[in-house]
Structures are given as C-alpha cells and as structure tokens.
Amino acid sequence: MTDAVAEAITRVHREEWARVVASLTRRFGDLGLAEDMAGEAFATAVERWPRDGIPPNPGAWVTLTASRKAIDRLRREARRDAKHQEALMLHDDSPPEPAGAVDDDRLRLLFTCCHPALSMEARVALTLRMVGGLTVPEIAHAFLVLEVTMGQRITRAKGKIRAAGIPFRVPEAHDLPARVAGVLAVLYLVFNEGYLASGTESEPVRRELTAEAIRMTRLVRELLPHDGEVAGLLALMLLTEARAAARVSASGELVRLDEQDRGAWDHALIVEGIALVRERVDAVARGEAVPGRYQLLAAINAVHTSVPDARDTDWSQVLALYDQLAGVNPSPIVALNRAIAVSELDGPDVALASVERLATALDDYHAFHATRADLLRRLGRSADARIAYDRAIALAGNSAEVAHLTRRRDQLGH
Amino acid sequence: MAHYFLVVWGPSDYGEFDTYGTQEERDAQMEATGAFNDRLREEGSFVYANGLTEPSTATVVDGTGAEPIFTDGPYLESKEYFAGLWIVDVPDLDAALMLAAEGSKACGRKVEVRPTGSV
C-alpha cells in the first residue's frame, strides 16, 4: 500500500468512524451490528483502495459499504430465522436521511454510550470504541486491563443496551443538561487518565488519551455549539494539554506549574483555549446561565496560562474563581486547590489552617498530603513536612509525581 | 413498546405497619403510590402493580425433579427482599427509569428496573 493510501485510510477512519457507526445504528437499530460492519467496511477499504484508488467521497463510500454488508448479514440471518426477516423489513424501508441528520446520529451515539444505566467503566470503554474508533486492544492498553477483560466489558455493555432497551436518541429537553453533564464526565475522565496516568507501571502522561479526549470533545462542541459547559470543558482540556511538554522533566519528574518552562508551552492551544473562555465570559455577561464547573476550571487555567512569568499570576482572580467554583461544586478537593491560592495571597500559615480542616475528608488523597507538605516546608516545619511527603509518596500512583515528591522531600533541611 | 418489571425492595421483617415505621408514613406512601398508579393507567403504561406480603410467607417450589419439593421461606437469605412490583409498558429504558424514579419516591423504597425478555 502506498503511503498516500495508508494515510487516507487512517484519516478517514479517524474522521468518519463515529459517523458510520452512528448512521448504521440508527438505520439497523443494533449498535453491535453497526460496529462490526463499520470494521468490515474499513477492512474492505484496506483491500480495495490501493488497487482501485481512493474514492471521491471516502466517508460516503465506507458508510455505503458498511450498510450493504449489514443488509447482506441480515438477509443471511433472515433465511435462518424468521424473526430477523421481520426486523429486516422493519428497518430496510427506512426513509432517506434528511440533510443534517447525520450529526444528530453522532450525538445519539454519544448519549447512548454515556447512558447513566451503564457503569462508568462501560461508558468510558464504549465511548472510546464507538465514538473514538479505538480498537479493543488499544482501549485495554490505555486502561491497563487485559484485552479479554476489555472485550467482555464492551460486549456486556452492548448486551445491556440491546436487552434493556437503552434508546438511540437525544434525551428530552428536561433531561438534557444532566445527560450532557454525563457525557462530559466520561470525556473528562478519559482526559485525566491521560493527563495524570494512575498506574505506577504506565507512562506518566499519555498523550494518546488526552488527544483522543480533546478530539471527542471537539466533536461534542461541534454538535452542541451553544452549551457553555461543553465549551468550558474543551477550553480546560486545551489549556491543560498546552502545558504537557513542560510538565515532565527530562529525568521523568513532574514539574510544578510555577517551575515550568513557559516557552515550551503550546501557544496555539493556549490562544484557542483562552478564546473559548472569553466567549463564555461574554455569554455570562450577556446574562446566560451562571458558569458551571468546567467553565470555572477553564477560567482558572486561563489566568495561569495568560502570563509569561509565574510571578505575575493574578492570584486574587484565581481565588475569586475558586470561590465561585466552591459555590457550584462544594467539594473538599476544590477547597484544597483554593487553599493554594490563599497561600499565595495571605501566606502559608493561613492556607495551612484551611487545609487542616480537610484532613478527615481527604486523608487518602495524595494531593492533600502533598499540598500540606509544601505549606509545612514553607513554614520551616521540616519534620512535619517530611511525614506529609512520605504519606503523599505512598498514596501517589503516578511515577512522575512520585519522583517530584521524593525530590521535594529529600531537599528538606533537618 | 416493551414490558419492564419494576421491583420494589424492602426489609426482611414487616412490622405493625408493613414495611413502614408508622401509620402516618404508611398512609402517606399508600396515597402517593395510589395516585402514581392512577396516572400510569391514564397514560396507558400500567400493566400490573401490587405489594407483596412478607418474605416469611414465601414458599420455594422445585419442580425440576421427579417429585416437586416445597421449601418454606424465600429462595435466598438476604437483608432486603422484593416488597412489591410494577409491570409497565413503555417505549424504552429511559421511560422506564423515569417511572421507576417517580414510583420509588411515591412508595419510599428503592426500585430495581428489570427489562423482560422478548418471548
């Protein structure tokens, strides 16, 4: 196969997979069939395109090929089973798709894969498979589970969708905000797993997962352009991803935001992320709904990434945003991050007092002990800081973070 | 349309007021549940609804052998048992989940949604 054809197939797969699966699912009412036939259609492309050339409209070619294969499969099964005959007749005369309905199909696919009746693990796996187009081995590798386990997880989820009658449609208006939030939670989880990989055995940052999460969030943004939280999550991901190259040192150690080489940041992503944050700030100023969690987290990241030197950070702005965030999402983790802003404005002693209040809620969270350790270190309480670093190191799962915390601990005086 | 089985979960022992703590509590839940059932009938999704007597009244029947065997008590020992059920006829799981949420609020118990088979 020539490089040009191979590249075309990769590109079409990346751009069209979700569309093909979504349109077949709507037409034939069977997600598993749609997945199988989409896979076979791409296999046929690999066989034919090098010989016949790349078709003028590759996406339409794949959809048509996959649909023909689905009809063949259903006809074969129908000869064996009268019930399938019935199903075939039910779906075969489906009206031609009205223009614009295809995008709608991809949205349906997302809502089905992220349905609240499925476990979170299943939602993540299904979304990466059906919307992202990742293979089962790729997803298994990303989440450090055996291929057979991941395969079973996806099969079980498809089985539940079929047997339980999880619908393939966009939820009704009253249900929509909660369901969009559910989709965003899945995408954010995929992103975070790439951004701070949890396994001690895995690479500390897995760009393939963060890239996939961004790609899928861009798709959701395309489908729901007026949703503030969708814009917020995309901005948050872009502003976080922009710092990826500076986040891990050559020796494999996590580098804190204030110590990062800001010249190594991806400024195109920062510009795009900040533009999205501005768009939301303007929308809120016009009286649209109050910003949700992702918009506020994005705004905090925009404050950090908009200055070329960490010393110029507008901490009072950061603190004001954390106060707003605590209003919509009153969690101890938000309170912990807020305390870091407090330490910059009012000093480590004031911040430590607020951190200590979170001890019960966050005792098994490594970042709690790491934050506490840094504050104790700044206050000159080396012995206490050492104990806190030890706790943080024991709890941290990420290899680069362990390296960073170990160095901080070993720098402590006596 | 499909039938969904909405299983109400309740405690193993029923007290003076069945699965509820007081007379008032039982009356309130019964009234709310009755109103909910009426609405299901109006909407055309009602197939069947009822509470069940306590698990100690159950008998397990094993007819798979040569002679049927009857055993006193429920099939599995558990802290919670089926306390009632609805069967509803709705288009899909989303509709069933929404009714289950309302039914759960009406009767004051957790509800498990089980799709029925296609036979």
What is the domain-level CATH number for residue B100? 3.30.70.1060
From the CA of A102, how many Å to the nearest CA of chain B? 22
CB contact (8 A) between residue A167 and residue B97:
no
The string of pLDDT tens digits covering residues A3-28 is 889 999 999 999 999 999 999 999 99
Cβ-contact A41, A65 below 8 angstroms: yes
Query: Please, which pLDDT band fits residue A196 given cuts at 50, 70 and 90?
Result: confident
Domain limits at B9?
A: 2-115
Instruction: Write out chain B residues lying below 8 Å of A163, CB-based.
Output: 115
**Which of B4, B92, B113 shows the shortest C-beta gap to A167?**
B92
Structural domain includes residue A336 = no
Residue at a domain's end among A36, A66, A94: A94
Structural domain includes residue A29 = yes
pLDDT at B7 over 90: yes
Q: Report pTM.
A: 0.86
CB contact (8 A) between residue A165 and residue B97:
no
Q: Does B96 touch chain A (CB under 8 A)?
A: yes
Mutate: best of B6, B7, B94, partner A, most A CBs <10 A:
B94
CA dist A237 and A229 (Å) reads 12
CA dist B16 and A102 (Å) reads 58
CB contact (8 A) between residue A165 and residue B92:
yes
Tokens of A276: 């999205």
Q: Does A45 touch chain B (CB under 8 A)?
A: no
- DSSP H helices, A196-292, are 207-223, 228-241, 244-247, 267-285
Closest alpha carbon within chain A to B114? A164
Number of domains in chain B: 1
Cβ-contact A336, A363 below 8 angstroms: no
Residue A306 CB neighbours (<10 A): 16
Residue at a domain's end among A49, A71, A94: A94
DSSP code, position A171: P
Tell me what pLDDT residue A146 has.
93
Structural domain includes residue A181 = no
The string of pLDDT tens digits covering residues A38-81 is 999 999 999 999 999 999 999 999 999 999 999 999 998 887 76
CA dist A267 and A3 (Å) reads 31
CA dist A191 and A198 (Å) reads 12
Cβ-contact B99, B87 below 8 angstroms: no
pLDDT at A84 over 50: yes
pLDDT at A303 over 80: yes
Query: What mean pLDDT comes out for the span A271-283?
Result: 97
Which positions 145-164 of A are in contact with B (Cβ < 8 Å)?
A: 163-164
Instruction: Write out chain B residues lying below 8 Å of A175, CB-based.
Output: 94
Beta strands in chain B, from DSSP E residues, in sequence order: 2-11, 46-51, 59-62, 69-72, 80-90, 111-115
Q: Does B101 touch chain A (CB under 8 A)?
A: no
Measure the CA angle with vertex A270, ends A268 and A272; round to 5°.
Answer: 70
Of residues A325 and A93, which shows the higher confidence score? A325
- Classify A253 as helix, strand or coil: coil
Number of domains in chain A: 2
pLDDT at B69 over 80: yes
The string of pLDDT tens digits covering residues A146-173 is 999 999 999 999 999 999 999 998 888 8
Average pLDDT, chain A: 90
pLDDT at A199 over 90: no
The string of pLDDT tens digits covering residues A97-118 is 444 555 579 999 999 999 999 9
Structural domain includes residue A371 = yes
CB contact (8 A) between residue B92 and residue A175:
no
The string of pLDDT tens digits covering residues A339-391 is 999 999 999 999 999 999 999 999 999 999 999 999 999 999 999 999 999 99
Structural domain includes residue A260 = no
Domain limits at A2?
A: 1-94
pLDDT at A269 over 80: yes
**Which of B2, B91, B97 shows the shortest C-beta gap to A117?**
B97
**Which of A115, A116, A165 shows the shortest C-beta gap to B2?**
A165
